Structure 1
Amino acid sequence: MRKATKAAARSARIRCAIYTRKSHEEGLEQDYNSLDAQRDACEAYILSQKHEGWSCLPEMYDDGGISGATMERPALTRLLADIEAGRIDTVVVYKVDRLTRSLGDFAKIVEVFDVHGVSFVSVTQQFNTTTSMGRLTLNMLLSFAQFEREVTGERIRDKIAASKKKGMWMGGLPPLGYDVRDRKLVVNHREAETVRRVYRRYAVLGSVWALKDELDRDGIVSKLRIDKYGRRTGGKPLARGALYLMLQNRIYRGKIVHKENSYPGDHDAIIDETLWDEVQRKLTDNRIDRATGVGAAQPSLLAGLIHDDAGARMIPSHANKKGTRYRYYVSRGLVRGRRSDAPRGRRVPAGDLEVLVENRLRQFLASEAEVFGAIESQITDVNECTELFARAADLADRWPSLTPRDRRAVISTLVERIDVLRETLEIRILPSRLPAVLRDGNEWRHRTQPAEADSPSVTLMVPARLKRTGMETRLLIDGVGSGARRKPDHSLCRVLVHAHRYHAMVMHNGGRTMADLAAEAGVGGSYFSRILRLGFLAPDIVTAVLRDRHPVELTAKRLANEVRLPGAWEEQRTLLGID
């Protein structure tokens, strides 16, 4: 009975919501615009159906200046929300494409209508969405509407591409240094001087940070714009991002850019070719520096060159613990995927690997026999060969004094690839580049990209075994790489310092118990006792730890937990593996 009453009430009054839309904002400011015309037509149609119980809801669902290709429309969102809330029985539109121009979106909207029992009416196109024929007709119309939208978009894109090929400015906000007159870019000479200054100062400073600081001090601001409504924008300090974009904007070279291509423009250039090329080279160098981290306190000198034994690239990574930065080279699969996805991946301390590679390269440069064997086919003059030997030896001697950027430049120029294998480290160098580097000591400062044609590579071998110690992989070095030492293990050194401190506390305990001494040291009694025993290590073992001459398996954790530590020094050496 209740359902029958509800149905009767609904048939007595059909609540109609009118939805209107206009794609462009043009004309919306008029007193009577397209949205008003659509609404009047829909209201007239609803009035003609008054005898059927149709009544127009007062709520207005108007989307002005929004494309029908998107569902992100405020009024449409409200309309669908009210339908779901049960406030609407029928949706009335002027034409189907006012609701949407996408067949996929229309299917979603109709699904919402069906779920909530809402019908759909187009004033200029007689449809009944409750029948299969009505749905077919609607779908066909929407297919044509979508086709029209796509063809229009293609036509506009083709026109833009053709116009830009002719060097025409296709609209938008003009960059600093230009104004728009008769749809063309015209140089604003006062602003153009600011642009030239930005380029010149960056060429000198080589840093956008320093450039921004200088421009801010001198009160240099962005382009001031006033729109047709009198609203002012711009006139503010230039942000770093804006400076980067300005320094790469090819419009200042008199070009018009379309996607990846640039064409001669109708406008005049502000920046000459020489200054442009210098700025782009510095931007490129700085970009490479940021990628490889050569400006950091501990840069990754081998970035982009290292591969693991599966052939996968190893990329720089780091971790921070208690203010200390630990650097690694990690197989790409371990960084970008789950560990289970890359079971053969490697994670090697960066310091170990870099010292190995640098020492092997220095050894190569200092060896006349190895240098001659690498460049023998390129040398025709004995005197030239002698000079190259001297330059190579000089570079090897100066290596420790080179900046990280210069060391990175030499390595990336000479080294083609580095493979971290289980038993060896293979460093592939390109001998064809060596004479050029040695003849001109500054050439490698700007050569970070491979030459177009290189002779076959030469492989330098370093016996270095990968061994698991604790939670990471370390390199056990011998043979050619024996001179490549790591820095002392700070954790081990800290344990020995604590041991000698605790030993001194015991020797001057003043009658206090071990528990009292442990409390004074701020540690537990068990830890205090275990570390105290290390105060009786053989002097040469302590020296080996401080000079990093100990086995890589000897870690601070192992030493602190070594409960079988004997008192005899010879037995200590045997147990800890120190000769």
Structure 2
Amino acid sequence: MSREPVTPRKGAVRCAIYTRKSSEEGLEQDFNSLDAQAEACAAYILSQASEGWTLLPERYDDGGISGGTLARPALQRLLADVAAGRVDIIVVYKVDRLTRSLLDFSRLVEAFDASGTSFVSVTQSFNTTTSMGRLTLNMLLSFAQFEREVTAERIRDKIAASKAKGMWMGGTPPLGYAPDGRSLVIVPDHAAIIQRVYTRYLALGSVRLLADELTRDHVRAPVRTTTKGTAFGGGAFSRGQLYSILRCPTYVGEVHHQGRIHQGLHTAIIDRATWDAVQARLADNRQGDHRRGGRAVVSPLAGKIVDIDGEPLIASHATKGAARYRYYVSRALHHGTSTSGLRVPAREIERLVTEQAVLLLGDPLALAASAWLDVPASDMAGFHARCRQLAESPGNARQLADLVSQVRLGDSQVEIHWATGTIAETLAVTQHPHAPATAVTRIDARLTRSGKVLRLVQAGAPSPEQPNAALVRLLAQAHRWWAELRCGEISLATLAAREQVTASYLTRVLRLAFLSPALTQAILAGRQPAGMDVRSLTLTGTVEASWLEQAGSAATAPAAALWPA
């Protein structure tokens, strides 16, 4: 619920207190660190009562959140109130309570300056309206950021050293194990499922057949609980889950970290011979990597696309002659257990994801904020360069798809969930310890049916610039037939008999020889109107005589509207 701006008394200066504590330790106490900061700030405001300073009743407390990010609930409320003109001065106990990042500080200063708001540190005296005061503040923030980066390095070194000794460093353990201090203990019932998955995969040789068998035998993923108490599982095993299980080195007693393999302290569930055989079979049966004519045709989003209900779409393909058409198809539709579902052309959704990834990398500062990346000021130029290189490198569709955690197709919107950890690793930067696992981009786009296939149409965007080979062939055929007929040496009926088509069909195709040059060029360049295909261009009817009308129809209506009934 929005609040109305607080109208200050004449001469009054409205002050808001902001407090923060990095850890949750001690917050349960009746008088904690946040209360101590607020009390000191309130006393300072009271000492400035002669200057008209008044304390606003709203509290802005962030407990258990690091100062390395701006994604803090109370801080965001405070910034909203600043933008709305409700706050004149922000009072903090120390500057590092507000932020520990120089990059974030510059953003805050811009937001404060835009609203005419200043801030005061109770324990650090300097004036930010002067160049010397800003220099002093920048120096303090530099040391705060240095302290945070050194702490992060110590944590990373400790994790690496612990994993080198085979320790389990927290998180939700793989199915079959339960946490046991710095190690894992086997859960017998769950381990039996893992052993069955490995054994049956070697026997069947296909993850799809394995998933079908487990579903048929009512073998479901056990219900488990995360370290935060959230329950998950209980459903049928998806192909993605089975691939993760079959590739998880924990089951063979290993701990992998940054490309290095260490022997774990936990007991293995799978023996080495079975593990090696499974890895060899997976290497031979790479999903989404079909070879045709010596060239690999990949489906980079395989295992990552789901529908609005969370049901996965499977990478599939169809062939017609020498042509191969790739799709992402609903599981039930693919297996023939249902006649409804989605069948989305792979190239269209992959192009959309690639375009959004390039846009994301095109704004490195926004990317760093949304993915909670810790980019040192000294590496900012290098970070920008790496973002640009990744966005502009040729043939980068697969690498950009690796940044995606999930793509969710809705009725009128596509959600792209970016894997923030993968983004940090790819761009060679560290990530905030409390960073979310994903960041979401939402695009207004709808699925429209064209024949048996659903096509993706992005709101306000032109059709993809990818020539439709069937349309181009039809256009060429129309011009070839017209070239023969215009010579007067063959009749329409004779030409139809020779080409083994009906005279009616030949006439409908001939109309395409009279399309406007603009529409013809659009088809050849792949910029034809959404929905224009071979079927829509060979419907009964006549071509608009005016090229201007053709162009107008193409700009405002679906392809079928070009041909009045």
Normalising by structure 2, we get a TM-score of 0.52
Contact 1:319–1:325 under 8 Å retained in 2: no
For residues 504 and 44 of structure 1, do their structure 2 counterparts lie closer, same or farther at Cα, with a shift above 3 Å needed?
closer
Contact 2:493–2:503 under 8 Å retained in 1: no
The 5 Å alignment of 1:210-225 reads 210-225=209-224
Question: Among 517, 521, 527, which residue is 2:504 paired with?
Answer: 521
For residues 520 and 55 of structure 1, do their structure 2 counterparts lie closer, same or farther at Cα, with a shift above 3 Å needed?
same
Which amino acid is the alignment partner of residue 102 of structure 1?
S
Residue number in structure 1 paired with 2:90 = 91
Shift of 1:248: 0.6
Which amino acid is the alignment partner of residue 292 of structure 1?
H
For residues 240 and 21 of structure 1, do their structure 2 counterparts lie closer, same or farther at Cα, with a shift above 3 Å needed?
farther
Contact 2:253–2:264 under 8 Å retained in 1: yes
Contact 2:496–2:506 under 8 Å retained in 1: no
Question: Among 289, 293, 298, which residue is 1:301 paired with?
Answer: 293
For residues 167 and 237 of structure 1, do their structure 2 counterparts lie closer, same or farther at Cα, with a shift above 3 Å needed?
same
- Provide the C-alpha distance between the structure 1 equivalents of 2:227 and 2:29, rounded to a whole number of angstroms: 16
Contact 2:172–2:226 under 8 Å retained in 1: no
- Provide the C-alpha distance between the structure 1 equivalents of 2:279 and 2:47, rounded to a whole number of angstroms: 69
Which amino acid is the alignment partner of residue 295 of structure 2?
A
Is the counterpart of residue 115 in structure 1 residue 98 in structure 2? no
Shift of 1:502: 4.0
- Provide the C-alpha distance between the structure 2 equivalents of 1:277 and 1:319, rounded to a whole number of angstroms: 30
Shift of 1:290: 3.6
- Provide the C-alpha distance between the structure 2 equivalents of 1:91 and 1:504, rounded to a whole number of angstroms: 84
- Provide the C-alpha distance between the structure 2 equivalents of 1:93 and 1:242, rounded to a whole number of angstroms: 47
Residue number in structure 2 paired with 1:232 = 231
Residue number in structure 2 paired with 1:75 = 74
For residues 110 and 326 of structure 1, do their structure 2 counterparts lie closer, same or farther at Cα, with a shift above 3 Å needed?
same
Residue number in structure 2 paired with 1:65 = 64
Which amino acid is the alignment partner of residue 524 of structure 1?
T
Residue number in structure 2 paired with 1:291 = 289
Residue number in structure 2 paired with 1:203 = 202
Is the counterpart of residue 326 in structure 1 residue 326 in structure 2? no
Residue number in structure 1 paired with 2:176 = 177
- Provide the C-alpha distance between the structure 2 equivalents of 1:85 and 1:249, rounded to a whole number of angstroms: 51
Shift of 1:195: 0.6
- Provide the C-alpha distance between the structure 2 equivalents of 1:11 and 1:212, rounded to a whole number of angstroms: 72
For residues 100 and 521 of structure 1, do their structure 2 counterparts lie closer, same or farther at Cα, with a shift above 3 Å needed?
same
The 5 Å alignment of 1:336-375 reads none
Which amino acid is the alignment partner of residue 291 of structure 1?
D
Shift of 1:208: 1.6
Residue number in structure 2 paired with 1:271 = 270
- Provide the C-alpha distance between the structure 1 equivalents of 2:57 and 2:284, rounded to a whole number of angstroms: 64
Shift of 1:37: 3.0
CA deviation map 1:66-123 (0-9, x unaligned): 2211222232223223222222110011211111101122122123223333221112
- Provide the C-alpha distance between the structure 1 equivalents of 2:31 and 2:221, rounded to a whole number of angstroms: 39
Which amino acid is the alignment partner of residue 115 of structure 1?
A
Which amino acid is the alignment partner of residue 326 of structure 1?
A
- Segment of structure 1 superposing worse, 141-150 or 43-52: 43-52
For residues 127 and 166 of structure 1, do their structure 2 counterparts lie closer, same or farther at Cα, with a shift above 3 Å needed?
same
CA deviation map 1:388-447 (0-9, x unaligned): xxxxxxxxxxxxxxxxxxxxxxxxxxxxxxxxxxxxxxxxxxxxxxxxxxxxxxxxxxxx
Shift of 1:132: 2.9
- Provide the C-alpha distance between the structure 1 equivalents of 2:261 and 2:496, rounded to a whole number of angstroms: 76
For residues 89 and 29 of structure 1, do their structure 2 counterparts lie closer, same or farther at Cα, with a shift above 3 Å needed?
same
- Provide the C-alpha distance between the structure 2 equivalents of 1:237 and 1:34, rounded to a whole number of angstroms: 47
- Provide the C-alpha distance between the structure 1 equivalents of 2:192 and 2:508, rounded to a whole number of angstroms: 73
Contact 1:120–1:128 under 8 Å retained in 2: no
Contact 1:27–1:33 under 8 Å retained in 2: yes
- Provide the C-alpha distance between the structure 1 equivalents of 2:241 and 2:55, rounded to a whole number of angstroms: 51
Helix, strand or coil for the counterpart of 1:292?
strand
The number of residue pairs the alignment matches comes to: 331
Which amino acid is the alignment partner of residue 258 of structure 2?
K
For residues 103 and 43 of structure 1, do their structure 2 counterparts lie closer, same or farther at Cα, with a shift above 3 Å needed?
same
Shift of 1:233: 2.8
Which amino acid is the alignment partner of residue 290 of structure 2?
T
- Provide the C-alpha distance between the structure 2 equivalents of 1:519 and 1:304, rounded to a whole number of angstroms: 40
Contact 1:92–1:120 under 8 Å retained in 2: yes
CA deviation map 1:177-236 (0-9, x unaligned): 111122321111221111111111111122222212222233333343346776533333
Q: Percent identity?
A: 55
- Provide the C-alpha distance between the structure 1 equivalents of 2:33 and 2:218, rounded to a whole number of angstroms: 47
CA deviation map 1:256-300 (0-9, x unaligned): 11021110011111111111111101111111x74234xxxxxx1
- Provide the C-alpha distance between the structure 2 equivalents of 1:232 and 1:146, rounded to a whole number of angstroms: 37
- Provide the C-alpha distance between the structure 2 equivalents of 1:471 and 1:78, rounded to a whole number of angstroms: 50
For residues 250 and 109 of structure 1, do their structure 2 counterparts lie closer, same or farther at Cα, with a shift above 3 Å needed?
same
Helix, strand or coil for the counterpart of 1:238?
coil
- Provide the C-alpha distance between the structure 1 equivalents of 2:494 and 2:107, rounded to a whole number of angstroms: 79
CA deviation map 1:509-533 (0-9, x unaligned): xxxxxxxxx99735539959x9xxx
Residue number in structure 2 paired with 1:254 = 253
Is the counterpart of residue 131 in structure 1 residue 107 in structure 2? no
- Segment of structure 1 superposing worse, 55-64 or 268-277: 55-64
Helix, strand or coil for the counterpart of 2:219?
coil
- Segment of structure 1 superposing worse, 178-187 or 271-280: 178-187
Helix, strand or coil for the counterpart of 1:221?
coil
For residues 45 and 519 of structure 1, do their structure 2 counterparts lie closer, same or farther at Cα, with a shift above 3 Å needed?
same
Which amino acid is the alignment partner of residue 221 of structure 1?
R
- Provide the C-alpha distance between the structure 2 equivalents of 1:198 and 1:16, rounded to a whole number of angstroms: 62
Contact 1:254–1:265 under 8 Å retained in 2: yes
Shift of 1:58: 2.0
Larger radius of gyration: 1
Helix, strand or coil for the counterpart of 1:164?
helix
**What is the Cα-based RMSD across aligned positions, in Å?**
4.0
The 5 Å alignment of 1:140-151 reads 140-151=139-150
Contact 1:178–1:185 under 8 Å retained in 2: yes
Task: Compare the two structures and name the one with the higher helix fraction.
Answer: 1
- Provide the C-alpha distance between the structure 1 equivalents of 2:110 and 2:181, rounded to a whole number of angstroms: 49
- Provide the C-alpha distance between the structure 2 equivalents of 1:149 and 1:23, rounded to a whole number of angstroms: 11
- In structure 1, the gaps of 5 or more residues are 1-8, 294-299, 306-317, 329-334, 338-469, 473-490, 507-517, 531-579
- Segment of structure 1 superposing worse, 159-168 or 52-61: 52-61
For residues 504 and 124 of structure 1, do their structure 2 counterparts lie closer, same or farther at Cα, with a shift above 3 Å needed?
closer
Contact 1:292–1:301 under 8 Å retained in 2: no
Which amino acid is the alignment partner of residue 129 of structure 2?
T
Shift of 1:36: 3.0
Contact 1:319–1:326 under 8 Å retained in 2: no
Residue number in structure 2 paired with 1:44 = 43
For residues 90 and 257 of structure 1, do their structure 2 counterparts lie closer, same or farther at Cα, with a shift above 3 Å needed?
same
Residue number in structure 2 paired with 1:154 = 153
Contact 1:21–1:35 under 8 Å retained in 2: yes
Is the counterpart of residue 35 in structure 1 residue 34 in structure 2? yes
Shift of 1:23: 2.2
Contact 1:22–1:66 under 8 Å retained in 2: yes
Which amino acid is the alignment partner of residue 107 of structure 1?
S
